[in-house]
């Protein structure tokens, strides 16, 4: 059987509350009304996917100084970045004022700069998340551990911000040595 579909004219749904469908004995009819009174409630809105997915734990961390396991690490990392929506952040430069000016040619002065600052804030937030995702997949233990941790703190920390893209490029450069 094929159910007949009717066009939806409202995003509201009826709910069965008290006195929703009164019995005929309780009902008083007003000839001015052509429909029964229904207790309407907003329809349940679809929920957006969560911004943070539960990631499986990293089973084996990559040791950048050894170089072994780089291909498996890179594949796992790219999966994690695409799942969290951070893949683009890992490959793109931060926004520039010139790019913002091209994207919003009708704005100038303070308005343009405000839009640029919003873009930079979004990039910095994502770049910090990227840092934590990347750092959770590496193992720096070994004779250079302390030097590597100091290098990371000196080059990829800026107050509360972290440079995940910079960390990723540095790790890839260690593999090439």
Q: How far apart are CA 136 and CA 57, in angstroms?
A: 9
Per-residue pLDDT, 12: 41
pLDDT score recorded for residue 112:
93
The pLDDT profile of the chain, 177 residues, written as one tens digit per residue, is 454 444 444 444 444 444 444 444 444 444 444 444 444 444 444 444 445 556 777 778 899 988 788 999 999 999 899 888 898 888 999 999 999 999 999 988 999 999 999 999 999 999 999 999 999 999 999 999 999 999 999 999 999 999 999 999 999 998 865
- For residue 58, the Cα-to-chain-centroid distance in whole angstroms is 20
Exposure letters 82-100 (e unless 16+ CB within 10 A, then b): eebebbebbeeeebeeeeb
Q: What are phi and psi of 7, to 5 degrees?
A: -65, 140
Distance of alpha carbon 22 from alpha carbon 119, whole angstroms: 56
Task: Tally the residues of the chain.
Answer: 177
């Amino acid at each position: 059987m094929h159910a007949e579909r009717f066009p939806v004219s409202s995003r509201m749904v009826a709910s069965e509350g008290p006195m929703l469908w009164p019995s005929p004995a309780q009902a008083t009819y007003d000839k001015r009304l052509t429909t029964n009174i229904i207790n309407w409630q907003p329809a349940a809105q679809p929920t957006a996917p969560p911004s943070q997915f539960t990631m499986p734990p990293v089973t084996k961390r990559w040791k950048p100084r050894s170089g072994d396991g780089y291909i498996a690490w890179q594949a796992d990392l790219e999966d994690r970045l695409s799942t969290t929506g951070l893949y683009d952040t890992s490959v793109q430069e931060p926004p520039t004022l010139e790019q913002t000016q091209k994207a919003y040619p009708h704005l100038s002065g303070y308005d343009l700069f405000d839009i640029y600052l919003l873009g930079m804030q979004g990039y910095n937030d994502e770049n910090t998340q990227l840092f934590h995702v990347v750092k959770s997949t590496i193992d720096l233990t070994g004779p250079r551990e302390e030097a590597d941790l100091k290098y990371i703190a000196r080059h990829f920390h800026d107050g509360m911000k972290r440079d995940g893209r910079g960390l990723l490029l540095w790790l890839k450069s260690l593999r090439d040595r």
